[in-house]
């Protein structure tokens, strides 16, 4: 049995939750506290939680309970690495950091940018330079250090310009290693299968996040970010536990020994949940679901194990997926990372 050594967690819908997603079962009560936190009450349970407020550039406000922060602190004190991996753009993540639990590693833009012990690691982003061009060594580049996407070098920005010209609603504001596409009315199942092969050959991945499609280099992504942490600490996937809720987290869930889901934002997550005995949906939703998931991880830590390690030669041997380390028992990226067909989405 392998002990839990690292927890990889998504942010939106996992650590923090939007009011619009909680309105069926919880409400904000009273006035904000002096520190800006608010009280959320679960209507039927009568349970209240004090929550930090997390803003966003393009989405509504999200809330994370102070109890979530306390539980994360307890896990770290027990020797568990805590890693946040989010698709958030650089400026949004920078604004939110002060309200988040301290983390050993933080990845944003779907893994394209890394903080280690609070310090930016430009060398990590530089590994994608052929795709994204040079990126300034600051969390939120400004002025001349942040050229407009129309003038950026790199294959990713060639694709951005191509899609914009084709009529897609593309968003690269404060993104430097990925960009977002509005695919309203389009589902992963409805995308052109032939385009997948074309995108794969071009070296890009695509996943759904908060109802949008995020496009980024195939060598990036949440699972690749997690593999880098495992590599740095000499750990195996059997040492890892994940928390997540959305389509762009699936490859991360595929990597780890156990996964806990405070919710399922995308249908693909529910489909995958039914196929994985080592994934578990929490009974509660929202911030209580997050706390329930963290408590489950704490029980695994206290028990001294995650799951029984797979024997040599079983179905979890590496299959040569993009970014796999030699000899590592890491499955390839989830097949739900689907490319967007450029030609078929011109705005009406």
pLDDT tens, position by position, 92-104? 999 999 999 999 9
Quick one: average pLDDT of 146-154?
Answer: 94
Asked whether 7 and 81 are in contact (CB, 8 A), the reply is yes
On the question of pLDDT at 5 being above 80, the answer is yes
More confident call, 325 vs 211: 211
On the question of pLDDT at 227 being above 90, the answer is yes
Asked whether 72 and 81 are in contact (CB, 8 A), the reply is no
Quick one: average pLDDT of 308-315?
Answer: 45
On the question of pLDDT at 192 being above 80, the answer is no
Q: What are phi and psi of 205, to 5 degrees?
A: -120, 160
On the question of pLDDT at 347 being above 60, the answer is no
On the question of pLDDT at 346 being above 60, the answer is no
Sheet holding 48-54, edge to edge: 17-18, 62-65, 48-54, 38-42, 26-29
Residue 304's pLDDT band, with cuts at 50, 70 and 90, is confident
Task: Work out whether strand 26-29 and strand 81-85 pair parallel, antiparallel, or are unpaired.
Answer: unpaired
Give pTM, 2 decimals.
0.84
More confident call, 191 vs 201: 201
Q: Could you tell me the two tokens for 2?
A: 């392998």
Residue 119: Cβ within 10 Å count: 9
For the chain, the average pLDDT equals: 84
Show the domains of the chain with their CATH numbers: 142-218+336-345 (3.90.1150)
Q: What percent of the chain has pLDDT over 90?
A: 65
Would you state the pLDDT for residue 248?
A: 84
Residue 168's pLDDT band, with cuts at 50, 70 and 90, is confident
Quick one: average pLDDT of 41-50?
Answer: 96
């Amino acid at each position: 049995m392998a002990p839990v050594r690292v927890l990889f967690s998504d942010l939106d819908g996992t650590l923090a939750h939007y009011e619009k997603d909680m309105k069926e079962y919880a409400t904000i009560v009273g006035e904000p506290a002096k520190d800006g936190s608010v009280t959320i009450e679960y209507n039927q349970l009568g349970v209240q939680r004090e929550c930090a407020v997390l803003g966003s550039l393009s989405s509504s406000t999200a809330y994370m309970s102070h109890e979530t922060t306390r539980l994360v602190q307890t896990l770290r004190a027990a020797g568990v690495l805590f890693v946040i991996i989010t698709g958030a753009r650089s400026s949004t993540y920078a604004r939110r950091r002060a309200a988040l639990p301290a983390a050993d590693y933080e990845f944003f833009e779907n893994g394209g940018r890394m903080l280690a012990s609070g310090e930016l690691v430009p060398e990590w982003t530089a590994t994608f330079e052929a795709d994204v061009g040079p990126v300034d060594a600051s969390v939120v580049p400004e002025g001349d250090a942040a050229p407009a996407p129309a003038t950026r070098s790199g294959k990713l920005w060639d694709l951005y310009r191509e899609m914009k010209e084709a009529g897609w609603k593309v968003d690269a504001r404060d993104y430097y290693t990925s960009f977002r596409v509005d695919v309203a009315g389009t589902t992963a199942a409805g995308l052109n299968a032939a385009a997948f092969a074309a995108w794969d050959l071009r070296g890009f991945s695509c996943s759904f996040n908060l109802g949008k499609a995020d496009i980024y280099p195939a060598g990036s992504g949440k699972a690749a970010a997690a593999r880098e942490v495992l590599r740095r600490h000499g750990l195996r996937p059997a040492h890892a536990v994940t928390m997540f809720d959305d389509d762009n987290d699936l490859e991360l869930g595929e990597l780890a020994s156990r996964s806990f889901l405070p919710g399922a934002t995308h249908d693909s997550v529910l489909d995958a949940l039914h196929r994985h005995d080592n994934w578990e949906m929490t009974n509660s939703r929202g911030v209580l679901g997050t706390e329930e998931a963290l408590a489950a991880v704490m029980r695994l830590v206290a028990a001294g194990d995650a799951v029984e390690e797979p024997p040599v030669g079983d179905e979890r041997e590496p299959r040569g997926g993009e970014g796999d380390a030699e000899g590592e028992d890491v499955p390839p990226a989830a097949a739900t990372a689907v490319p967007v067909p450029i030609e078929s989405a011109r705005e009406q």
